Amino acid sequence: MTKVYPKAASPPQQQTSTSSRNINPVVLTVWKKSLLFNCDGFTVYDSNGNLVFRVDNYAGSKKSEVVLMDASGHPLLTVRHKRASITDNWLVYDGETTVNPRFSVAKHVNLMKAKSLAHVSSAAGSPKKKSLVYEVEGSYAQRCCVVYDDKRRCVAEIKRKEAVGGVAFGGDVFRLVMQPEIDSTVAMGLVVVLDQMYGGSSRRFHT
């Protein structure tokens, strides 16, 4: 993250092939900070220091809704906390729409399976039903999470960023490592949801 105002870059594209597991994963650096003054959110860079994703939560904005944008500020996903539900659920929509959610994320509360954080399932009517069934395990507070698909393959990981030049990074800077089987926008959308579920001070966005 040597660039404060890096040039824009398109969201990284995953490659698909029968030997996709031999392809190097995509690694993004996630900074839990907005580039805009008086905003909370995320700033996400690729391995070349280019801005890929951003989240800017303005004061006075809808506190139950968070929008994931590309580097130019175009909305990619909208995350909404589903109120009045038996379980703690978040719905994720394409763009800025709030109709026909793309998928839903339920906070895991089963103490018998404590390492499980959330379950991701396709929302009713989603055209991408077969590709969006994930289980998230680990600890978001420790920035140590694994996303498994329905075949129990690791498709994404949240990891602490290693110290560089003797400078250690805290929990506000971490890595998002993605395999070709998961779309980068979906993976970053899951980071946004996990932060809403387990991010401590960030929970004020949906009070």
Question: For residue 82, what pLDDT band results from cuts at 50, 70 and 90?
Answer: confident
Q: How far apart are CA 81 and CA 71, in angstroms?
A: 24
For 130, half-sphere exposure in the C-beta direction (CA atoms, 13 angstrom radius) is 0
Question: For residue 83, what pLDDT band results from cuts at 50, 70 and 90?
Answer: confident
pLDDT score for 115: 84
Instruction: Give the range among 48-57, 100-109, 112-121, 143-152 with minimum mean pLDDT.
Output: 112-121
Q: How far apart are CA 106 and CA 132, in angstroms?
A: 13
Q: How far apart are CA 108 and CA 130, in angstroms?
A: 21
Q: Which domains does the chain have, with CATH numbers?
A: 24-200 (2.40.160.200)
164 Cβ neighbours under 8 A, 6+ residues apart: none
Give the Å distances, CA to CA, from 193 to 18, 47, 190: 30, 23, 5
pLDDT score for 42: 95
- Classify the phi-psi angles of 100: left when phi > 0, otherwise alpha if psi is within -120 to 50, otherwise beta: left
In this prediction the pTM is 0.82
pLDDT score for 155: 97
Question: For residue 111, what pLDDT band results from cuts at 50, 70 and 90?
Answer: low
Q: How far apart are CA 58 and CA 35, in angstroms?
A: 12
Is the per-residue pLDDT at 87 higher than 80? no
pLDDT score for 85: 60
178 Cβ neighbours under 8 A, 6+ residues apart: 12, 14, 25, 26, 27, 28, 155, 156, 184, 187
Q: Closest Cα to residue 158, out of 130, 134, 124?
A: 134
The whole-chain average pLDDT of the chain stands at 82
